[in-house]
């Protein structure tokens, strides 16, 4: 974040060097924010921070009721990511792409609205801020009801090159559930912004080569190209994850382009009026979405015969446990579905951190600590976990047995005490997505 802030003004100076007349002087910034009504942009980002935390709080409890669909994605594309990672595996490449994965995505979220504010372009400032919020709303039903594990949890031999590293493993286990693979917003969010750019220049009637924000547009395009490789190479996304990311990008850009001038002209009341004009497609979208989500609850994703983690050799898989109650336990059930023994370890993330490096976790160095068990083929390990404090961070590590060769497969069920209560609120926050889809079905004139 410090690097983002430090680079904001220098990059803005570079990208606006041919149009200095459009720059907002430092003395004009506060009046510009007030005059243009930019306070809601700040409010939107604060709301997004709270909403994402609220959504993430639902993720693990709901997983017990909806299961996962990683096995479906694997049946489509198999071990393609394994071959890609192995072909290009290099420590320096891993470090560079890990830093890029973190920095560039945060940059694309943060910088464009600031750039347009400082460039006296209120319409694009609105659209860039809305883009981040809207595309996340669209992704919520998939994240909560159709879990897909990262490739480095399911494909034997694929390492979590970014997640399993000592300098950032605690950060990721605190902020990323590692099963929100589909859709990939690292592709969807910048693609949506690029689509917004093109719709905007069509409206103002200029060629993109003459556009004063062309430098920023090229920068975003170049980052998309890098992401299409890095999200696969780092052991994070599946190739399949890109497809719904692109679909959401189209829906998001259409909705933002439609609603932005209405918000500018009539505020929230005007936007609600515009939404009411599309009642029929919105209600149809909500009804169909509700049916799909209800079908996911105790649906095909919960089949206990489908593994959640697969590994062989020195592969170590990691599951995050969340704190939801200090008095009621999380009931953990681990079942060995394969023909190879599995080592399982419940341990503090602080004990894992010193033994994680470049995608590899040294399981044997961690295993003297924590609660350890060896699961023979067909056996089950059940335990109750009650955290001692809100700040406690526990994970479960899995590794294939010491002597056997072959692929180990594990299913994991974590039953949280508040899962029933969170099902309703998770269902309700998912409805925002279907409202947006319904409002985006029909092309609307811009007024």
| pLDDT tens-digit profile, the chain (447 residues) | 788 889 899 999 999 998 888 898 888 888 888 888 888 888 888 899 999 999 999 999 999 999 999 999 999 999 999 999 999 999 999 999 999 998 889 999 999 999 999 999 999 999 999 999 999 999 999 999 999 999 999 999 999 998 888 778 888 888 888 888 899 999 999 999 999 999 999 999 999 989 999 999 999 999 999 999 999 999 999 999 999 999 999 999 999 998 888 888 777 777 777 777 788 889 999 999 999 999 999 999 999 899 999 999 999 999 999 999 999 999 999 999 999 999 999 999 999 999 998 889 999 999 889 999 999 999 999 999 999 999 899 999 999 987 778 999 999 999 999 888 899 999 999 999 999 999 887 654 433
Q: In terms of domains, do 164 and 258 share one?
A: yes
pLDDT of residue 19: 87
Q: In terms of domains, do 150 and 232 share one?
A: yes
Residue 372 sits in a domain of what CATH number? 2.60.120
Q: Which two tokens stand for residue 310?
A: 């697969």
338 phi and psi angles, rounded to 5 deg: -95, -165
Q: Which two tokens stand for residue 55?
A: 């959504």
For residues 429 and 143, the answer to whether their CB atoms sit within 8 Å is: no
Residue 188 lies in a domain: yes
Residue 445 lies in a domain: no
Buried b / exposed e along 108-122 (16+ C-beta atoms within 10 A): bbbbbbbbbbbbbbb
Q: In terms of domains, do 405 and 426 share one?
A: no
Residue 33 lies in a domain: yes
Q: In terms of domains, do 96 and 229 share one?
A: yes
Residues 6 or more apart in contact with residue 273 via CB below 8 angstroms: 266
Residue 354 lies in a domain: yes
Q: In terms of domains, do 128 and 114 share one?
A: yes
How many domains, the chain? 2
For residues 139 and 248, the answer to whether their CB atoms sit within 8 Å is: yes
Q: How far is CA 209 from the centre of its chain?
A: 32
Q: In terms of domains, do 326 and 271 share one?
A: no
Which residues does residue 344 pair with via DSSP β-bridges, in sequence order?
373, 398
Residue range(s) defining the domain that contains residue 263: 2-300+422-440
Count of other CB atoms within 10 angstroms of residue 337: 19
Nearest CA to 65 out of 136, 138, 147, 137 is that of 147
> To the nearest 10°, the Cα dihedral for 355, 317, 140, 417?
-90
Residues 6 or more apart in contact with residue 177 via CB below 8 angstroms: 56, 59, 60, 320
Q: In terms of domains, do 207 and 142 share one?
A: yes
Q: In terms of domains, do 241 and 381 share one?
A: no
For residues 337 and 409, the answer to whether their CB atoms sit within 8 Å is: yes
Hey, CA dihedral for 42, 45, 47, 53, is it positive or negative? Answer: negative
Half-sphere exposure of 437 (CA within 13 A, CB side): 21
DSSP label at residue 168: T
Which parts of 297-407 fold into alpha helices (H)?
349-352, 363-366
Hey, CA dihedral for 216, 263, 144, 66, is it positive or negative? Answer: negative
Residue 61 lies in a domain: yes
Residue whose token pair is 């704190």: 323
pLDDT of residue 442: 62
DSSP label at residue 338: S
Half-sphere exposure of 80 (CA within 13 A, CB side): 12
Q: In terms of domains, do 348 and 236 share one?
A: no
Residue 95 lies in a domain: yes
Q: How far is CA 149 from the centre of its chain?
A: 12
Which residues does residue 317 pair with via DSSP β-bridges, in sequence order?
398
Q: In terms of domains, do 262 and 355 share one?
A: no
Hey, CA dihedral for 404, 384, 427, 189, is it positive or negative? Answer: negative
Taking CA atoms, 43 is separated from 49, 129, 145, in Å, by 10, 10, 28
Residues 6 or more apart in contact with residue 197 via CB below 8 angstroms: 124, 208, 211, 213, 217
Describe the crossing of helices 185-204 and 122-145 by its angle, rounded to 10 degrees: 150
Q: In terms of domains, do 276 and 178 share one?
A: yes
Q: In terms of domains, do 154 and 168 share one?
A: yes
Residues 6 or more apart in contact with residue 358 via CB below 8 angstroms: 91, 94, 159, 161, 164, 165
**Residue 322 buriedness (CB in 10 A; 0-12 / 13-18 / 19+):** middle
Q: In what order do the strands lie in the sheet with 380-385?
A: 309-311, 408-415, 330-336, 380-385
d(CA 123, CA 239): 34
Residue 265 lies in a domain: yes
pLDDT of residue 445: 44
d(CA 126, CA 7): 22
> To the nearest 10°, the Cα dihedral for 265, 260, 263, 43?
-130
Q: Would you call the peptide bond into 183 cis, given omega within 30 degrees of 0 as the criterion?
A: yes
For residues 385 and 332, the answer to whether their CB atoms sit within 8 Å is: yes
Residue 447 lies in a domain: no
Residues 6 or more apart in contact with residue 83 via CB below 8 angstroms: none
Count of other CB atoms within 10 angstroms of residue 275: 16
pLDDT of residue 447: 39
């Amino acid at each position: 974040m410090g690097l983002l802030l430090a680079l904001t003004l220098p990059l803005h100076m570079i990208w606006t060097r041919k149009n200095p007349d459009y720059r907002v002087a430092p003395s004009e910034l506060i009046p510009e924010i007030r005059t243009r009504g930019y306070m809601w942009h700040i409010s939107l980002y604060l709301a997004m921070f709270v909403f994402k935390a609220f959504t993430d709080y639902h993720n693990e409890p709901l997983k017990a009721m909806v299961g996962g669909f990683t096995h479906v994605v694997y049946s489509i594309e198999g071990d393609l990511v394994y071959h890609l990672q192995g072909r290009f595996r290099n420590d320096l490449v891993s470090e560079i792409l890990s830093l890029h994965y973190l920095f560039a995505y945060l940059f694309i979220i943060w910088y464009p609205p600031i750039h347009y504010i400082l460039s006296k372009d209120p319409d694009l400032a609105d659209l860039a801020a809305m883009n981040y919020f809207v595309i996340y709303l669209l992704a919520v039903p998939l994240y909560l009801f159709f879990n897909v594990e990262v490739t480095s949890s399911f494909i034997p031999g694929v390492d979590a090159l970014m997640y399993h590293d000592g300098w950032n493993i605690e950060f990721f286990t605190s902020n990323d559930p590692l099963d929100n693979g589909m859709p990939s917003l690292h592709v969807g969010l910048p693609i949506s912004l690029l689509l917004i750019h093109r719709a905007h220049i069509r409206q103002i009637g200029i060629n993109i080569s003459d556009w004063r924000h062309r430098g920023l547009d090229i920068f975003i395009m170049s980052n998309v190209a890098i992401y299409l490789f890095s999200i696969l190479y780092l052991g994070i996304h599946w190739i399949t994850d890109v497809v719904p990311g692109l679909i959401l990008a189209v829906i998001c850009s259409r909705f933002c382009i439609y609603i932005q001038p209405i918000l500018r002209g009539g505020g929230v009341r005007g936007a609600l009026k515009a939404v009411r004009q599309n009642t029929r497609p919105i209600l149809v979208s909500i009804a169909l979405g509700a049916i799909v989500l209800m079908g996911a609850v105790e649906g095909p994703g919960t089949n206990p015969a489908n593994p959640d983690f697969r590994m062989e050799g020195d592969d170590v898989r990691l599951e995050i446990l969340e704190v939801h109650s200090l008095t009621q336990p999380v009931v953990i059930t681990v079942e060995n579905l394969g023909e190879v023994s599995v080592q399982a370890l419940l341990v503090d993330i602080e004990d894992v951190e010193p033994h994680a490096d470049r995608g590899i976790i040294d399981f044997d160095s961690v295993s003297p600590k924590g609660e350890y068990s060896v699961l023979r083929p067909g056996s089950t390990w059940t335990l109750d976990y009650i955290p001692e404090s809100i700040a406690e961070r526990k994970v479960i590590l899995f590794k294939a047995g010491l002597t056997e060769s072959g692929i180990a497969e594990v299913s994991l069920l974590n039953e949280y005490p508040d899962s029933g209560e969170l099902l309703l609120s998770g269902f309700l926050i998912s409805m925002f997505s279907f409202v947006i889809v319904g409002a985006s079905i029909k092309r609307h004139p811009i007024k």
